[in-house]
């Protein structure tokens, strides 16, 4: 049976797609929301570290699975390898809500400078560093909407570097655990400006969901009480209740359909029974992640788009960024671990921008609780990696080690990219994404700077032994914070979409995920992706109500 034609197709029910689905369906458009995974529940992996999205040893608990999915990775030495989702795959969860089911839920707004990186720091050789086509002020109302509709606990008034806002965050911030309190006090002594990390997590009952009860297994896991706000338990249910949105799970979109006139009319997808199906629509919105979105565009070749849709100037899949995580560890004399989850709770933005000698910077915060298996890889340089000494370290120091870490804002690099592999195909026969290139050499300098600050902070807090783990090495970025591969911009020659997320060369094709980011800020990107969802979704809904059919 043929699928009924709808107003809009959204590919990907994650941070961006979930929000767009809600904006459009509430505005009265008929919507089909496609998700390659299924609904996730807490019971799927509960507290099992080896299947969590963080350790992903045995599996990615919330997908994608190792059986049907793969990618190709090209290493700096030119060698290439097929990688599975539990390996160097640059994975994001495949389920309704995607990463927002199992993320740590930090709710950062990017700062004003993040939108004006080129203006602030000038051109950097070897980097495609650029200003966004929109300013922080343009996105501010969308941030606010995300904060209030999904629910954020925080208090930006304690952060002097926070960008201006019209409305406070809707919930009070979380209290610190022992480690965070020690770091908070130490930061004050150092003249830093510590504050509680804003979280997409209920500190008090909110949105019909209970308050967090502070499990240790949070980042990498689904929430047992639904206190963590993702699109799966906030905006997607609203979209479904509107009666205008159909969610099609276990459905893998393979290609965007281009008709004889060169117009986009819908998509092909493989349904839950792996049968190829067609869905037509007036508008198509891709929100499949910064790896899968360009893969879909590049896999949609036709005589009108011989290099893939939106790829006239070879910008699709370019500028793959993530975050160069960098920081330091400290061992304390006494227990700093008090098992009050999820761990990360204190941050500083003192080193996010205007640091001498480096471009940008990033926030620094204490880290989420490291479960025992992850901790088994945390050792000072030169320490035993196995044997009696390794075991003894685990026993003695598990509760005595604190970590300060932050996402350094990477230099976008044109050759860090996603394209499609000419030979390797996935279970459905769709050519897989190929990851290649590497980070900018200057990233490591920024990371070094931040790691030094992190170490200083830990020492002040009383650490008796510290060591740095400097990020930003030679490898390729990406990962759960993947972004930048379909950059928005005013010039079609150096960007893929316009400032509303619409693909330059196609009137009815939009992108609404991290791919749009021109650069990725020195923060976890989830709230920004949601805000962009509100921007793109709001724009489409607004135009639609004015009669614009995007033809």
Partner 1 sequence: MENSKKISRRKFLSLSLLGVGGVALISLNPFSKSTSSNWRFFTNDEGVLVDALAEQIIPTDESMGARDAGATNFIDKQLMGPYIRYQETYRKGLKAIQETCKTNFKKSFEALEWEEQTKFLQSMEAGKIEGSNWEKGFDKEFFELIRSHTMQSFYGSPRHGGNKNNVSYKMMRLDYPVIIGQNRYKV
Partner 2 sequence: MIKNKLLKTALLAIPIFIGVCLLSFGTFYSYWNTASADKTCASCHEIQKSVHSQSMSTHRDLKCKECHGTALSNGFHSLEEKGMMVVNHVLKIKTEDIHMNEEQVLGVMDNCKRCHTSEFAKWTSGGHSADYKAIFTNKKHNSTEQMNFDCLRCHGMFNNGTVEELVEPLNRKGPWHLKDDKEMAARPTIPCLACHQVHQDGLTKKNPDYSNPKSIFYHKDSSKSNLTFYDRHEKMNFSVSDLPKLTLWEGKRAVKVSDDLLMRNCVQCHAPNATHQAGTSDDRTPRGVHKGLSCMACHDTHSNDARNSCIKCHPAISNCKLDVIKMNTTYADAKSPNNIHFVSCTDCHDGKQQQKLNLSNKIIKLYR
Structure tokens, 42 = 């807490």
Report the nearest approach of partner 2 to the CB of residue 230 (Å). 14
Of 210-218, 324-332, 419-427, 475-483, which segment contacts partner 2 by CB under 8 A? Answer: 210-218
Closer residue to partner 1 (CB): 302 or 376: 376
**3-state DSSP of 477-536:** CCHHHCECCCCECCCHHHCCECCCCEECCCCCEEECCHHHCCCCCCCCCHHHHHHHHHHH
Our separate counts of H helices and E strands in the chain read 11, 17
State which of positions 39-78 bind partner 2 (CB under 8 A): 41-43, 46-48
Residue tagged 């080690």 (tokens): 401
Structure tokens, 399 = 């509760």
Report the nearest approach of partner 2 to the CB of residue 407 (Å). 26
Crossing angle of the two packed helices 526-545 and 136-146, in degrees rounded to 10: 100
* The only residue of 119, 160, 172, 213 in contact with partner 2, by rule CB under 8 A: 213
Looking at the DSSP bridge assignments, the partners of residue 411 are none
With CB cut-offs between 5 and 8 Å by kind, which of partner 1, partner 2, none does residue 41 bind?
A: partner 2
Closer residue to partner 2 (CB): 184 or 209: 209
Report the nearest approach of partner 1 to the CB of residue 295 (Å). 23
How many CB atoms within 10 Å of residue 241?
12
Tell me the DSSP string of 277-316: EEEEEEEEEE-S-TTHHHHHHHT---SS-TT-TT-TTS-T
Report the nearest approach of partner 1 to the CB of residue 212 (Å). 11
214 near partner 2, judged by CB under 8 A: yes
With CB cut-offs between 5 and 8 Å by kind, which of partner 2, partner 1, none does residue 5 bind?
A: none
Tell me the DSSP string of 27-82: TT--EEEE-SSB---GGGTTT-GGGSTTT-SS--TTS--TTT--EEEE-TTS-EEE
Please, which residues have CB within 8 angstroms of residue 394's CB and are 6 or more apart in sequence?
372, 375, 376
* The only residue of 126, 172, 205, 542 in contact with partner 2, by rule CB under 8 A: 205
Residue 447 · residue 407 · CB < 8 Å: no
Report the nearest approach of partner 1 to the CB of residue 50 (Å). 4
Report the nearest approach of partner 2 to the CB of residue 369 (Å). 11
Residue 207 · residue 195 · CB < 8 Å: no
Closer residue to partner 2 (CB): 54 or 295: 54
With CB cut-offs between 5 and 8 Å by kind, which of partner 2, partner 1, none does residue 394 bind?
A: partner 1
Q: What mask of x and - would describe binding to partner 2 in positions 337 to 356, judged by CB under 8 A?
A: -xxxx---------------
Q: Which H/E stretch holds residue 245?
A: strand 245-248
185 near partner 2, judged by CB under 8 A: no
Report the nearest approach of partner 1 to the CB of residue 238 (Å). 26
**Distance from C-alpha of 154 to C-alpha of 174, rounded to nearest angstrom:** 7
Report the nearest approach of partner 1 to the CB of residue 48 (Å). 5
Report the nearest approach of partner 2 to the CB of residue 41 (Å). 6
Report the nearest approach of partner 2 to the CB of residue 204 (Å). 12
CA neighbor of 185 nearest in space, from 359, 346, 307: 346
With CB cut-offs between 5 and 8 Å by kind, which of partner 2, partner 1, none does residue 43 bind?
A: partner 2
**Distance from C-alpha of 290 to C-alpha of 480, rounded to nearest angstrom:** 10
226 near partner 2, judged by CB under 8 A: yes
Closer residue to partner 1 (CB): 214 or 263: 214
**Distance from C-alpha of 289 to C-alpha of 401, rounded to nearest angstrom:** 34
With CB cut-offs between 5 and 8 Å by kind, which of partner 1, partner 2, none does residue 138 bind?
A: none
Closer residue to partner 1 (CB): 51 or 477: 51
Residue tagged 């740590």 (tokens): 104
Q: How far is CA 282 from the centre of its chain?
A: 28
CA dihedral 417, 423, 426, 431 (to 10 degrees): 50
Closer residue to partner 2 (CB): 212 or 470: 212
With CB cut-offs between 5 and 8 Å by kind, which of partner 1, partner 2, none does residue 124 bind?
A: none
Binding positions for partner 1, rule: CB under 8 A:
47-50, 57-59, 66, 84, 211, 213-216, 225, 339, 371-373, 375-377, 385-388, 390-392, 394-395, 398-399
Please, which residues have CB within 8 angstroms of residue 116's CB and are 6 or more apart in sequence?
131, 132, 135
Closer residue to partner 2 (CB): 224 or 507: 224
With CB cut-offs between 5 and 8 Å by kind, which of partner 2, partner 1, none does residue 388 bind?
A: partner 1
Residues that bind partner 2 (CB under 8 A): 41-43, 46-48, 205, 208-210, 213-215, 224-226, 338-341
């Amino acid at each position: 049976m043929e699928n009924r034609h709808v107003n809009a197709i959204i590919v990907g029910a994650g941070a961006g797609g979930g929000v767009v689905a809600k904006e459009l369906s509430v505005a009265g458009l008929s919507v089909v929301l496609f998700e390659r995974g299924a609904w996730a529940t807490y019971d799927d992996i509960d507290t099992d570290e080896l299947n969590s999205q963080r350790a992903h040893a045995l599996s990615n608990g919330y997908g994608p699975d190792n059986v049907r999915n793969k990618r190709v990775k090209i290493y700096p030495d030119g060698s290439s390898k097929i990688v599975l989702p539990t390996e160097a795959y640059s994975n994001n969860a495949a389920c309704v809500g995607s990463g927002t089911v199992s993320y740590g839920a930090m709710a950062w707004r990017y700062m004003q400078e993040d939108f004006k990186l080129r203006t602030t720091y000038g051109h950097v050789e070897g980097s495609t560093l650029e200003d966004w086509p929109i300013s922080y002020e343009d996105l501010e109302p969308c941030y606010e909407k995300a904060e209030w509709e999904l629910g954020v606990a925080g208090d930006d008034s304690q952060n002097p570097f926070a960008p201006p806002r019209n409305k406070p965050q809707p919930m009070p911030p979380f209290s610190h655990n022992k480690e965070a309190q020690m770091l908070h006090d130490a930061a004050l002594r150092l003249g830093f400006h510590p504050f509680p990390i804003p979280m997409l997590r209920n500190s008090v009952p909110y949105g019909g969901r209970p308050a967090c009860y502070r499990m240790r297994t949070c980042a990498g896991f689904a929430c047992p009480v639904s206190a963590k706000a993702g699109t799966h338990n906030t905006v997607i249910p609203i979209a479904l209740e509107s009666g205008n949105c159909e969610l099609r799970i276990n459905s893998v979109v393979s290609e965007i359909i281009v008709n004889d006139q060169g117009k986009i009319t819908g998509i092909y997808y493989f349904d839950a029974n792996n049968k190829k199906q067609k869905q037509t629509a007036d508008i198509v919105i891709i929100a499949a992640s910064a790896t899968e979105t360009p893969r879909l565009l590049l896999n949609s070749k036709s005589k009108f788009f011989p290099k893939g849709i939106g790829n006239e100037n070879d910008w699709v899949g370019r500028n793959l960024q993530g975050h160069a995580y960098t920081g330091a560890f400290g061992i304390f004399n006494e227990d700093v671990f008090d098992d009050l989850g999820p761990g990360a709770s204190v941050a500083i933005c003192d080193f996010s921008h205007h640091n001498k000698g480096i471009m940008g910077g990033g926030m620094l915060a204490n880290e989420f609780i490291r479960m025992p298996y992850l901790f088994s890889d945390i050792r000072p340089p030169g320490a035993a990696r196995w044997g009696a000494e390794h075991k003894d370290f685990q026993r003695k120091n598990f509760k005595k080690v604190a970590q300060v870490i932050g996402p350094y804002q990477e230099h976008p690099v044109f050759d860090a990219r996603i394209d499609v592999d000419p030979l390797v195909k996935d279970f459905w026969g769709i050519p897989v994404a190929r990851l290649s290139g590497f980070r900018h050499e200057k990233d490591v300098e920024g990371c070094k700077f931040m790691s030094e600050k992190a170490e200083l902070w830990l020492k002040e807090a009383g650490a008796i032994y510290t060591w740095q783990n400097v990020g930003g090495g030679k490898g390729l970025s990406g990962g759960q914070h993947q972004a930048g591969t379909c950059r928005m911009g005013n010039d079609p020659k150096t960007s893929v979409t316009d400032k509303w997320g619409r693909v330059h060369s196609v009137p009815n094709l939009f992108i609404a995920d991290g791919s749009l980011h021109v650069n990725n800020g020195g923060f976890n990107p989830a709230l920004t992706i949601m805000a962009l969802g509100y921007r793109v979704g709001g724009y489409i809904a607004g135009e639609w109500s004015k009669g614009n059919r995007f033809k």
